[in-house]
Amino acid sequence: MNEFVERLVGSVELALPEVALIVIACVYFLIAPFLLDTSRDGRSGEGPSYLKHLWATATLAAIAVAGSLWLRMEPTAEALPGPFRIDGLSWYVRGLSLASAAILTLVAWARVPAGKAAEFYACLLFICAGTSLVAVANDLVMLFLALELVSLPTYVLLYLSRHDAAGQEATLKYFLLSVFSAAVASFGLSYLYGTTGTTDLVAMKTALALGANGPMPATLAIGIAAIVAGLAFRLAAAPFHFYAPDVFQGTSTVGAATLSFIPKAVGIVALARIIGTPEALATGGWSLTAVAAPMLAALAVLSMCVGNLLALVQTDLRRLLAYSGIAHGGYMLVGLVAMNPTEPGVGLGSALFYLASYGAMTVGAFAVLAMLRVRGTTDVDAPANAPVDDRVNTIDDLAGLGRSQPFAAALLAIALFSMIGLPPTAGFLGKLNLFVAAWSGGWRWLAIAMLVNAGIAAYYYLRVLGSMYLRPTANVDRRSVEWPALAGGTLCAAATIGLFAAPDWLWQALRATGNDL
């Protein structure tokens, strides 16, 4: 144990951006209570409204600090034994998590109550640090800690941003299932440790590669099955998806935006780290990739079908996006399935490329939803004293958006076209890469299932687009312009178009990650 601690301390500099984020977040928790002026407005826990601008700006600055540390770190190819590693994969995931945290800050800016802003953004910083740590971790224990560093603040974040009855129910539902899935995943990790005798990922894979003589022990398969099940919960892959629509509907928009992207990123990266076999070790041995591939393929096809078919009948936008997220999780799993032993970078790269495209489109869509207000409640069943819910809830609420708020509508339309997979958007190239990876990796039925699903999915996205542009009545308040959320949505839309026009730099970087597994 002592040795572990020593190594941990010695390699802290490898995780400098995360350390910075965590330290800053802790400072938030320390300072925040003293800034709340309970005497002035009489209500405890409410602070002056400048606080939310202060904390949001501070958060952007913190992310910028971490980002500059990130840029100064060169990814090194060789994996040293130790709890952390800096390779192409972690370099990419770090960038992605920092960028998504910055955009989520913009989305949350105007929506978070001033009194809770500090805690909210602190949780966001923890989540951001945890997401990068999942990729940086080179050790099963570290990996599990990183996963929990994402989960625990997520519960708080969901609760802080909305704490009426619906929000509480959503938070509780997510909490219970998430804890359960963490238990299942850690059970699987323990089997992996038990079989290979090490928690170090590099050493573990070397041990597996050397285990060529003799049949693969069943404990490994059980372990992998448990890990896949536990992480499939994060991906909201069917049949572990049941919480997603309810939670998305119940929680705040920024909470839903966070949930739609961060857990998926975490799940994909953790799965890739655990089951991926590096190129160098591809020949012979026991391959976790081969064991996991059929399971992942089943999950992928089930998620795509369940997500898309159930999304067809949704009228609530958040439920629709939740189901669409389930389907997109299925698409990403296709990339992991296609991680071919001879060149894992193809499958992994396509999954990671899609992850970035998906992040841009889904966070972009939620950013637009976050800033729109309808003109008064339409919910006749609500009790009289319930707070007026002025969020955009249903597809019908978006009617006439193309006229009342053309710019916001255009941003949402770009995100939706990217979800359909129409050019010129990143969603098209992302699906194309996944298709090519699956097809050339020998998973042709999976590739075809993907194309069929892309056709089905077009229908419900078109319904939303149709409501926005082809219907006259305007429910959305014209004045509801929130500049930060608008800026966040614009950045996402720019990324969606930009990744289509100039994809090569990212794609080349991602393909090289095949060596890093």
Q: Residue 448, SS3?
A: helix
Span 445-464, contacts to other proteins by CB under 8 A:
447-448, 451-452, 454-455, 458-459, 462
Between 251 and 425, whose beta carbon lies closer to other proteins?
425
Span 418-437, contacts to other proteins by CB under 8 A:
420, 422-424, 428-429, 432-433, 435-436
Mark residues 302-341: x for contact with other proteins by CB under 8 A, - for none. Answer: --------------------------------------x-
Q: Closest separation between CB of residue 455 and other proteins, Å?
A: 5
Count of residues near other proteins by CB under 8 A: 43
Between 128 and 426, whose beta carbon lies closer to other proteins?
426
Shortest CA distance to 103 belongs to which of 74, 138, 67, 148? 67
Per CB under 8 A, 487 contacts other proteins: no
Shortest CA distance to 102 belongs to which of 495, 413, 479, 502? 495
Between 294 and 423, whose beta carbon lies closer to other proteins?
423
Q: Pull the structure tokens for residue 339.
A: 């991680």
Between 221 and 487, whose beta carbon lies closer to other proteins?
487
Per CB under 8 A, 282 contacts other proteins: no
| Of the candidate residues 17, 245, 441, 484, the single one contacting other proteins (CB under 8 A) | 441
382 dihedral zone (left: phi>0; alpha: psi -120 to 50; beta): beta
Per CB under 8 A, 91 contacts other proteins: no
Between 284 and 466, whose beta carbon lies closer to other proteins?
466
Residue 199 to residues 35, 223, 224: CA-CA distances in angstroms? Answer: 44, 13, 14
Q: Closest separation between CB of residue 110 and other proteins, Å?
A: 24
Q: Which stretch binds other proteins (CB under 8 A): 235-243, 306-314, 382-390, 439-447?
A: 439-447
Per CB under 8 A, 45 contacts other proteins: no
Per CB under 8 A, 476 contacts other proteins: no
For residue 352, which amino acid is it?
A: L
Name the H helices within 197-252.
201-210, 218-235, 243-250
C-alpha 337/C-alpha 272 separation (Å) is: 10
Q: Closest separation between CB of residue 508 and other proteins, Å?
A: 7
For residue 252, which amino acid is it?
A: S
Altogether, the residues listed in the chain come to a count of: 517
For residue 212, which amino acid is it?
A: A
Q: Closest separation between CB of residue 118 and other proteins, Å?
A: 38
Span 390-419, contacts to other proteins by CB under 8 A:
402-403, 406, 410, 417
DSSP assignment of 168-212, as one string? HHHHHHHHHHHHHHHHHHHHHHHHHHHHHS--BHHHHHHHHHHTT
Q: Closest separation between CB of residue 511 and other proteins, Å?
A: 6
Integer-rounded Cα Rg, in Å, for the chain is 22
**Cα–Cα–Cα angle for 152, 15, 159, nearest 5°?**
15
Q: Closest separation between CB of residue 212 and other proteins, Å?
A: 22
Per CB under 8 A, 123 contacts other proteins: no
Between 74 and 504, whose beta carbon lies closer to other proteins?
504
Per CB under 8 A, 507 contacts other proteins: yes
Residues 6+ apart with CB under 8 A from 192: 140, 204, 220, 223, 224, 227, 274
Per CB under 8 A, 202 contacts other proteins: no
Q: What share of the chain is helix, strand, coil (3-state, %, to 5)?
A: 75, 0, 25
| Of the candidate residues 198, 219, 377, 440, the single one contacting other proteins (CB under 8 A) | 440
Q: Are 272 and 333 in contact (CB under 8 A)?
A: no
C-alpha dihedral over 321, 248, 119, 268, to 10 degrees? -60
Q: Closest separation between CB of residue 286 and other proteins, Å?
A: 22
For residue 337, which amino acid is it?
A: V
Interface residues with other proteins (CB under 8 A)?
Answer: 340, 342-343, 345-346, 349, 402-403, 406, 410, 417, 420, 422-424, 428-429, 432-433, 435-436, 439-441, 447-448, 451-452, 454-455, 458-459, 462, 465-466, 469-471, 503-504, 507-508, 511
